[in-house]
Amino acid sequence: MTHRELLHRRTFLADLARIAGAGLVAFDLQLITACAGDDTARHTADGRLTAAEARTLRAFAAQILPSDNDGPGANEAAAVEFIDRAFGMPFFADTVPVVRDGLANLDARANTGNSRQTFASIPSTEQIAIMRQIETTPFFATARTLVVMGTFADPSYGGNRGSVGSSLLGIEHRPSFTAPFGWYDGQTTPHVTSGAA
């Protein structure tokens, strides 16, 4: 068995929990940690997003990182296209059923009475109200994580289209930099080699 095949055995949800420690930072997604032990959610991904799922996910992504007066958001960064591709990658296989069920649930919640409404077709304020109801579910944490990844991931995965994500953070795209790097070191001249005080 090659290392690559072995690599794919890892479960993504367990891995999200491991991010907790990386960089010595407590990770926010307690629910994902809890969910990581649940092996029943594991089954093979059977394909990419349907058109209806993509529509619902776009509406969801637009609420996570909106396009607003402050500039473009997750959809301009092509986060949903990233997720569509991610669903074909073994590493993300465990997220597929979680996201798929959650998207169906969003549409079900939007379809009150016999209105035939979908999550994407209801007004933004109603979308927000629904998202608040499910904020602590594994679906919300997983889908939010994927939207964030799609906004900031390397363009080779289809993420961060047009540098929307990195521009949002104020990152200059250059392979190398020279001092001064920021405002504060720019104020001190010249660079001193032994410490102050």
Residue among 51 and 184 whose Cβ is closer to other proteins:
184
* Candidate list 123, 125, 154, 189; residue touching other proteins; CB under 8 A: 154
Among the residue ranges 40-48, 94-102, 113-121, 149-157, the one whose residues contact other proteins (CB under 8 A): 149-157
40 forms part of the interface with other proteins (CB under 8 A): no
| Burial zone of 193 (CB within 10 Å; 0-12 exposed, 13-18 middle, 19+ buried) | exposed
CB of 132 to other proteins, least distance (A): 10
Q: Give the three-state DSSP class for 15.
A: helix
Cβ-based neighbour number of residue 121 at 10 Å? 16
Tokens of 133: 């109801």
CB of 113 to other proteins, least distance (A): 27
Contact indicator for 192, 185 with CB cutoff of 8 Å: no
Residues 6+ apart with CB under 8 A from 119: 56, 59, 60, 103, 106, 107, 109, 110, 127, 130
Site string for other proteins, 74-113 (x = CB under 8 A): -----------------x----------------------
66 forms part of the interface with other proteins (CB under 8 A): yes
* Candidate list 123, 125, 189, 197; residue touching other proteins; CB under 8 A: 197
